[in-house]
């Protein structure tokens, strides 16, 4: 593929990119939506981390209290079911303290899963001052399984950070990037659209080969406009960008 572009092609570059650097920028509707989405993800991640963290602390506190101050009772399994979408079994049970019945539920240890049935009798450990705090004796979850839940909010937090990073990268391109004519060298379908390879020539004559995602198929040899950072031409994207525009 010929990577040289004549002056006529250069003259067709968008006029809003011809002004002095840095350019004034404005966020597009898509950019605003993604910024809001990223903020929501970060807020949910923080709330989830606080909630799961407090829940983990309570479980640790209850475990310690049951070990030190707990009393024993005999409970009866009232229901055995699959816990959510996992393969783990969840047992619901009931037990009596001074003639009053209390209930509870707990994950069944894997080694007991095939033997536990409804109406099975199991030993229960409970707090005499508050029998609602109880757990089957010997069924304690590992500390790792308790503290794994507060880590889960890191997933939406990471997604939110990635969205903000994409927004920041596009803003930098619009503010400080140089426009160039590029040629499509390859195009293949993907789940999210079309993976397109293109090349362009920088102002100092360097040929740069990059790729990007397009919603529609691009013809081999077709010309597009890209914006790149002069100090790092590999940081380029097809123009117009999704999240930022030039503020005219």
Are 49 and 153 a contacting pair, CB within 8 Å? yes
- Among 173, 153, 202, which residue's Cα sits nearest to residue 41? 153
Residue 167: the pLDDT is 97
Radius of gyration of the chain (CA): 30
Query: pLDDT-derived band of residue 8, with 50, 70 and 90 as boundaries?
Result: very low
Structure tokens at 110: 């894997």
Q: Lowest mean pLDDT: which of 23-37, 66-80, 113-127, 230-244?
A: 113-127
* 164-176 pLDDT tens trace: 999 999 999 999 9
Query: pLDDT-derived band of residue 7, with 50, 70 and 90 as boundaries?
Result: very low
* Interatomic CA distance for residues 180 and 199, integer angstroms: 10
Residue 86: the pLDDT is 74
């Amino acid at each position: 593929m010929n990577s040289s572009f004549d002056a006529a092609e250069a003259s067709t570059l968008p006029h809003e990119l011809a002004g002095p650097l840095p350019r004034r920028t404005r966020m597009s509707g898509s950019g605003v939506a993604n910024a809001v989405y990223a903020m929501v993800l970060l807020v949910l991640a923080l709330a989830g981390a606080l909630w799961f963290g407090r829940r983990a602390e309570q479980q640790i506190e209850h475990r310690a209290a049951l070990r030190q101050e707990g009393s024993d009772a005999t409970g009866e399994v009232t229901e055995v079911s699959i816990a959510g979408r996992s393969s783990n079994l969840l047992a619901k049970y009931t037990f009596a303290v001074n003639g009053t019945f209390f209930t509870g539920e707990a994950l069944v240890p894997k080694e007991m899963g095939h033997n536990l049935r409804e109406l099975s009798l199991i030993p229960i450990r409970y707090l005499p001052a508050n029998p609602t705090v109880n757990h089957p004796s010997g069924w304690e979850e590992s500390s790792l399984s308790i503290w794994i839940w507060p880590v889960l909010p890191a997933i939406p937090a990471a997604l939110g950070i990635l969205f903000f990073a994409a927004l920041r990268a596009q803003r930098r391109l619009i503010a400080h990037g140089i426009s160039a004519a590029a040629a499509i060298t390859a195009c293949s379908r993907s789940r999210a659209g079309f993976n397109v390879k293109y090349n362009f020539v920088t102002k100092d004559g360097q040929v740069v080969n990059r790729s990007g995602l397009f919603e529609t198929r691009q013809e081999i040899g077709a010309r597009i406009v890209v914006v790149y950072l002069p100090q790092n031409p590999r940081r380029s994207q097809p123009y117009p960008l999704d999240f930022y525009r030039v503020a005219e």
